[in-house]
Structure 1
């Protein structure tokens, strides 16, 4: 095996940039790949197996960081832990400002769960990781029984191969296709539960049965399932709703078209659909149309055109140089608009293979993903085909229709009873705490207004109470939301307090106390706090560098501008602030020159 050397940091691939921008506590962009064994899981042995797996796939030891123009993944010293399942499946993994790994391994009874944030890898990468993890676990458990250690992948596979950006490697701007105007797809509308908990419905069927029926119709398994899914959704449409087509998003593994050993995201998608209400609405009609669509759109040329079109957006000069926060909002808006073009998602993860000597210990593999709409994920192991419907809706009508269509075609699905820990609940505690805090702030303001109107109606001090309440709310809310990164929190508080004090000064008669006294003192206090935080928490230079630079530059530039324009009258504190901030900044250049250059390059990369 070649030496495993990782990049210190790396850009996100094309798909990951969308996931990092569009994810939220409700739309987590997390998916779960799991393996059900024929024996109960030993947590301590699973931890040893995970440590071995990470040695082979160190690219997973990454944390998400923010630059000025793009997110990026950085090598991390954090190591994963193994826990018994404790929360709702596919819960939030990427929490902004919180330095955590983007995957998690848990277990429950005889099931091993591997959950991962989609910006880190795709279904193929997750499959390889889970296969290695299960193999290592079974070997550790049954080595004494004569089970031999086997190699699942090529031995000469390097970390550089795993970190390869397939999109960048195969991008060809000369092979872009013309973007066609798309119709708005039929949207499934159902009442969702409070907080929109993920609804999961799983079944299993025979691979042999499905293959026989698919071959009988002269189509692939993917084409058959796509047509069945489209018809199942159509049964829930009204006559008026048939004006809009039912369109599915079907991911396509690009490694089958463009050779790559990348463990990063490397997939595209096609969008087969059907417009009902025009006379030909039978399953055979939909199947034939779906077959034709797959044949026309799964060619290398068509897939390359779609891939190149998506990458072209990323490389557009205006979008490329747009600040990250603005870019994130644009990407979220684009994702919302794109949702109108798709009814549901069908992901076929294909076959999961394990060596015969290991397969006898395994019952099945399964996969499902978090979603804000309806999604069907499929994978197979041996003769067991696993279906998993996920949605945010109470209704299971589409699932019922889908399995009935399969039954009519001679494919019988068996329901898998949900088996999760009773204490596994949605992780919304943080949201509830913030809601309580907001209510208390509003209640305090309302109380002040009532007291003003009842006790002193001729005075209007309630205006100051509202403004003061808002100021306090803004400071505490920022502190709460940025609680995972104290250095960033300090920088935000510097901006809020300095700008807020100037505004208070302006609206109370402009006595200049904000610029003569508060601004320079707050700047110096924040710089000292940053130094203390970095030392107490033992932060390496890469953790504190950008915040030191931002604080020192802000503390130099703003007072200098205010002095030059004559806004500051009493200059003593401002001069001290500028001088000490300058020394603070020069210290970084002299004693942390290498780290300074590296961090500036990372944060400002485009």
Structure 2
């Protein structure tokens, strides 16, 4: 059964997504992988058809991330996902700034179906539901001739509005806020990083029955038991000097267990259980008892509501809401760096994955792991198989070894899962090498010009002019290279860059005014026309290119007008003609495309 309702053209990011959109980078891509290991080889054509069926059920996964003046936002797209055989390092970057692309990827390798997603789009619970739908649709298409019946995995009355409901905002309460407690610094893992900083994945499988029985004998949950084991495993690698800092884990919590929600967006909190090993008596039971108490104290609806409301209060601060996006991003990145020092590692339990009995026989197990700059352990179960996935960017695997030895000492045995990945094809490396080579050549040419000038001292400083020209070319090329994924944004950057460059050249050559009299108005009109040509050739819809057309027109109107009013220009006519043309262009958009104009300004300027 698919959900047939339409969904909104765009929507705001939830509270967690705003953090992930600002803080993602090459080393911490904020991408996680949920996968399903089947008992048969994957057939690509059927997987592609299954993906289209899954997207009909969960259409919000067709979103792309766009940038506004104050916040990022998610926008509906008509992009079609391409199913590929696995080709790159797990949890590699999916979101590339300025590149319009979907925020998830579906790949396969032998018997494995991989679903990788950027955390802006959904959380672990949402990813679980999507992967379950995808696997169900695949198995139905593969085995319907054998009598396998199609079934629905979601509530019959679930709507798209339920899926894209922002539950953070829904359950926000100012009354729930409490004064924040200052957190202390936690012990930080500092080991030799793996070559190139690539992600290292270490997986094993345990028996769910075995772990549950042992945990219940100890009077705790599986999560509490494994949390205590991980704390002890990390402690074994600490020196006496390092014991002055506690070992603290971040443990994500699914808020849907406390607040009813069918949302597919991010809706999670976290707790931070830890242990100070300075006065430890050496017993595992002591750590286990303290972790149990911390879970009991922190895993309450009141504590989760308080923590959630503290995060929302910061987002809703009127001063911060009016800050430009780039300034917000810098603040969020700084805050994320500080927050990283409060935890040692991350432990995420995605709980049990269930499938209808008719489908379960075709599935071996599910698994999950994520990108991380730290050490992270993710677990999930299917049937009696508990899949554990350690990820890190460190060369050493001592903590993982310690963790499984502790489990073995507790009577729990594990089965090693050998890494089964194809040789990664790292895209973009050749492009970056060519760019770095170009930078080196430009630097060499500039140094050569300075050397010639120093040695010959020509009356006409052609060497300095040449060096300046090379530097200008390098700046323009650099912006073009890094903004190559969005031609319209690239053009806007070039407009600003060439304007500033011409004014600087005019100043350095004695100021004749040609830069503001002729170049600026002519360039503004030329860029506006080139944007329309690019939009026509690339077949961009008006909604997608309107914000850049408006930015170029406003730039071409305001700057020449200001220069005329301040008496900076000598020849006024070109500036006035350019300003009037840009003003008429904006007026035409408002008059003939008023609805689209209002909507685009609304989503790009929403606070």
The TM-score with structure 2 as length reference comes to 0.97
Structure 1 residue 282 displacement after superposition: 2.3
Are the structure 2 counterparts of residues 145 and 62 from structure 1 closer, same or farther at C-alpha, using a change threshold of 3 Å? same
Aligned to 2:563: 562
CA gap 1:26/1:203 in 2 versus in 1, 3 angstroms:
same
How many angstroms apart in 2 are the aligned matches of 1:17 and 1:446? 43
Q: Is the 8 A contact 1:197 1:426 kept in 2?
A: no
Cα shift at 1:141: 0.8
1:127 aligns to what SS in structure 2? Answer: helix
Match of 1:577 in 2: 578
Deviations 1:295-342 (A, max 9, x none): 000011011111110111111122111000100111001000100101
The CA distance in 2 between the partners of 1:347 and 1:459, in whole Å, is: 67
Q: Specify every segment of 5 or more residues in structure 1 that has no aligned partner in the other structure, as ranges.
A: none
CA distance in 1: counterparts of 2:287 and 2:392, whole angstroms: 24
* Residue in 1 that maps onto 2:378: 377
Deviation string 1:145-183 (CA, Å, 9 cap, x unpaired) is: 121222211111110000000101000011012210111
- Worse-superposed segment, 18-27 or 447-456: 447-456
In 1, the alpha carbon distance for the partners of 2:463 and 2:292 equals 69
Q: Equivalent residue for 2:357?
A: 356
Kept after mapping to 2: 8 A contact 1:192/1:392: yes
User: Any residues of structure 2 matched to 1:441-460 within 5 Å, and which?
Assistant: 441-456=442-457
The alignment of Structure 1 onto Structure 2 pairs a total of residues equal to 606
Q: What's the Cα RMSD here?
A: 1.5
Per-residue CA shift, 1:491-524, capped at 9, x if unaligned?
1111011112112212221111111121111111
Change (3 A) 1:423 1:16: closer
Relative to 1, partners in 2 of residues 1:341 and 1:466: Cα closer, same or farther, differing over 3 Å?
A: farther
Alignment of 1:275 onto 2:281: no
* 8 A Cα contact 1:91 1:427, kept in partner: no
In the TM superposition, residue 572 of structure 1 has moved relative to its aligned partner by 2.7
Alpha-carbon distance in structure 1 between the residues aligned to 2:431 and 2:394: 23
Residues 198 and 318 of structure 1: is their aligned pair in 2 closer, same or farther, counting only changes over 3 Å?
A: same
Alignment gaps of 5+ in structure 2: none
SS of equivalent residue, structure 1 residue 277: helix
- The 2-side partners of 1:216 and 1:451 are apart by 82
Whether the 8 Å contact between 2:3 and 2:57 is mirrored in structure 1 is no
**Counterpart residue number, 1:137:** 138
SS in 1 for 2:278: coil
Asked whether the 8 Å contact 1:199–1:391 carries over to 2, the reply is yes
TM-score (ref. length: structure 1):
0.98
Query: CA 1:500 to 1:104, structure 2 compared with 1: closer, same or farther past 3 Å?
Result: same
Instruction: For 1:365 and 1:447, locate their aligned partners in 2 and report how far apart those are by CA, in whole Å.
Output: 60
**Residues 185/201 of structure 1: CA separation in 2 closer, same or farther (3 Å cut):** same
Q: Deviations over 1:513-562 (max 9, x none)?
A: 11112111111110110110111111111111111111111111111111
Question: Residue in 1 aligned with 2:235?
Answer: 234
1:589 matches 2:587: no
Aligned partners of 2:289 and 2:203: how far apart in 1?
28
SS at match of 1:390: strand
Cα distance in 2 between the residues matched to 1:355 and 1:46: 19
CA distance in 1, matches of 2:48, 2:257: 33
Q: Flag the 1:2–1:200 CA change in 2: closer, same or farther, 3 A.
A: closer
8 Å CA contact 2:445, 2:467 repeated in 1: no
**Cα deviation digits, residues 46-96 of structure 1 (max 9, x gap):** 111111111000010100011110000001111111111111111111111
Give, in angstroms, the shift of residue 576 of structure 1.
Answer: 2.1
Deviates more, 1:435-444 or 1:206-215: 435-444
- Name 2:299's counterpart in structure 1: 298
- 2:223 is matched with 222
Partner Cα separation in structure 2 for residue 111 and residue 219 of structure 1: 33
CA change 1:405–1:344 in 2 (3 A) is same
CA distance in 2, matches of 1:316, 1:274: 34
Give the aligned partner of residue 514 of structure 2.
513
User: Within 2, Cα distance between the matches of 1:457 and 1:412?
Assistant: 80
- Conserved? CA contact 1:85–1:424, under 8 Å: no
Instruction: From the superposition, tell whether residues 187 and 62 of structure 1 become closer, same or farther in structure 2 (CA, over 3 Å).
Output: same
State the SS of the aligned residue for 2:79: coil
Q: Are the equivalent residues in 2 in contact too, given 1:471–1:500 (CA < 8 A)?
A: yes
Whether the 8 Å CA contact 2:83–2:106 is kept in 1: the answer is yes
Deviations 1:161-211 (A, max 9, x none): 000001010000110122101111111011213431111111111111101
Q: Structure 1 pair 256/584, CA: closer, same or farther in 2 (3 Å)? A: same
Partner of 1:78: 79
Partner of 2:415: 414
Q: Which residue is 2:124 aligned to?
A: 123
After superposition, the Cα gap between the structure-2 partners of 1:265 and 1:419, relative to the gap in structure 1 and judged at 3 Å, is: same
Contact 2:89 2:424 in 1 (8 A): no
Which segment is superposed worse, 496-505 or 241-250?
Answer: 496-505
Deviations for 1:439-496, whole angstroms, at most 9, x for unmatched residues?
Answer: 2222222222233334448986655444333322211111111111111111111101
Render the CA deviation track for 1:349-385: whole Å, top value 9, x for unaligned: 0000011111111111000001111100000000001
DSSP 3-state at the match of 2:279? coil
Could you tell me which residue of structure 1 aligns to residue 53 of structure 2? 52
